[in-house]
A and B are shown apart, each in its own frame.
Chain A
Amino acid sequence: MKMAAVCGSGLGSSFMMEMNIESVLKDLGVSGVEVSHYDLGSATPDLADVFFVGSDLAEPAKHLGNLVVLKSIIDKDELKEKVTEVCKENNLL
């Protein structure tokens, strides 16, 4: 499956989220997930199965479809909980 992190510029928050998602997946022992980062302007629904965004983009990123909204983009506990949920939904855990 494909996971994507999205932010306004596609360089800062989204890239950090991508790194943290990858590290969470590694901790969980989940493999076969492709993670990438995009800016809101170039992200389209076909690019990933699930999109992680900070709460400030919850509304503007609605068109992407399957959104996971993070209260804090750098809180690893929150991220772990939400990535675990996505993995369970997709039978990766």
Chain B
Amino acid sequence: MKEISFTEDNVLLHQNAVDWEDALHIVGKLLEKNGFAKPEYTEKIIENIKAYGPYIVITDDFAMPHARPEDGVISQGAALVTLNKPVDFAGKEADVLLAFTAVDNDSHIGLLQDIVEMINDGKIPYIQQADTIQELHKIIG
């Protein structure tokens, strides 16, 4: 992990979400708390999913909630939420949500490289099992 740092501020582990919108609100609030996005960002992601399907679920059990810079982004960042039980995003389930904000089309390249690496190294299921930030750090290195 070169770009993303996970701390007590941008991670919530083992959350309980009643449905996919609830899960997005949990991770969206983290983005807001860290000054990465305004509340409208989460609403835009929800709107996009309703219009275009579950575009944020990019592989089994893993969602990458994001919208565009003009949808309420304040600064570039990331937030992680893991769920005790997966939620269903219009036919695709996820229990690990890694939301990000981008300020333009390209500056978040390092952030996406980190995510690609985590997926390619098969770390998603282990991330879901992490009980503490320390464990999370051990898993993702």
User: Which residues of A approach B to under 8 Å, CB–CB?
Assistant: 7-13, 15-16, 19-20, 37, 39, 56, 72-74, 76
**CA A56 – CA B58 in complex, angstroms?**
11
Q: Which residues in A have their C-beta under 8 angstroms from that of B66?
A: 9, 11-12
**Most chain B beta-carbon neighbours within 10 Å: one of A7, A8, A37, A74:** A8
Contacts of B59 in A (CB 8 A): 72, 74
Cα–Cα, bound, A74→B112 (Å): 12
In the bound complex, residues from chain B placing their C-beta under 8 Å from that of A12 are 55-56, 58, 64, 66, 100, 112
What are the residues of chain A within 8 A of B112 when measuring CB–CB? 12, 15-16, 19
Q: Is the interface of A mostly helix, strand, loop or mixed?
A: mixed
Given contacts A16-B58, A72-B59, A74-B59, contact A11 B68 (CB under 8 A): yes
Question: Across the two chains, which residue of chain B brings its CB closest to A38?
Answer: B105
- Given A9-B55, A56-B55, A73-B58, is A16 in contact with B68 using a C-beta cutoff of 8 Å? no
Q: Contact mask B48-60 → A, CB, 8 Å, 1/0?
A: 1000110110110
- Which residue of chain A has the shortest Cβ distance to B45 in the bound complex? A9
B108 within 8 A of A: yes
Are the CB atoms of A13 and B55 closer together than 8 Å? yes
* A40 to B59 Cα, complex, angstroms: 20
Closest Cβ of chain A to B42, distance in Å, is 14
Write 25 A-B pairs (CB below 8 A) sorted by A numbering.
A8-B48, A8-B55, A9-B48, A9-B55, A9-B66, A9-B67, A10-B68, A11-B68, A12-B55, A12-B56, A12-B64, A12-B66, A13-B58, A15-B106, A15-B109, A16-B115, A19-B112, A19-B113, A19-B116, A56-B52, A56-B53, A74-B59, A74-B116, A74-B120, A76-B120
| B30 close to A (CB within 8 Å) | no
Task: Return chain B residues, CB-CB under 8 Å to A9.
Answer: 48, 55, 66-68
Q: Which residues of A contact B58 (CB under 8 A)?
A: 12-13, 16, 73-74
Other 13 A-B pairs with CB < 8 A, given A9-B68, A11-B66: A8-B55, A9-B55, A9-B67, A10-B68, A11-B68, A11-B102, A11-B108, A12-B55, A13-B58, A56-B52, A74-B58, A74-B59, A74-B119
